[in-house]
């Protein structure tokens, strides 16, 4: 999940030259995995992430990139592969 979040990089911290904190999105890992485990769908995950990004990071996500990330997260959970 950490690799998926870093790949999405909703606040753009990994696109800035120089080292980025490897745990930047760790605050999202457990809540996302819990939601995936209980079977939340794409719309629920999008609502959660939209609110969380706003409340925690003070930013809004690109809707297309958010939907792509949620699709990858759902695929990751369906495959059962832990990163």
pLDDT tier at 82, thresholds 50, 70, 90: very low
| C-alpha distance from residue 25 to each of 3, 30, 39, 75 (Å) | 10, 10, 21, 19
The domain segmentation of the chain, as residue ranges, is: 2-10+24-79
Task: Give the integer Cα–Cα distance in Å for 66 and 47.
Answer: 10
Residue 43: the pLDDT is 97
Residue 44: the pLDDT is 97
pLDDT tier at 80, thresholds 50, 70, 90: low
- Quote the DSSP letter at residue 64: H
In tens, the pLDDT along 11-62 reads 998 888 888 888 999 999 999 999 999 999 999 999 999 999 999 999 998 9
Task: Give the integer Cα–Cα distance in Å for 10 and 61.
Answer: 6
């Amino acid at each position: 999940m950490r690799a998926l979040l870093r790949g999405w990089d909703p606040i753009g911290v990994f696109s800035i030259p120089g080292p980025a904190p490897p745990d930047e999105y760790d605050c999202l890992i457990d809540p996302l995995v819990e939601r995936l485990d209980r079977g939340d769908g794409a719309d629920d995950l999008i609502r959660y992430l939209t609110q969380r990004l706003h409340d925690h990071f003070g930013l809004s996500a690109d809707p297309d990139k958010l939907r792509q990330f949620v699709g990858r997260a759902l695929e990751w959970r369906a495959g059962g592969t832990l990163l």
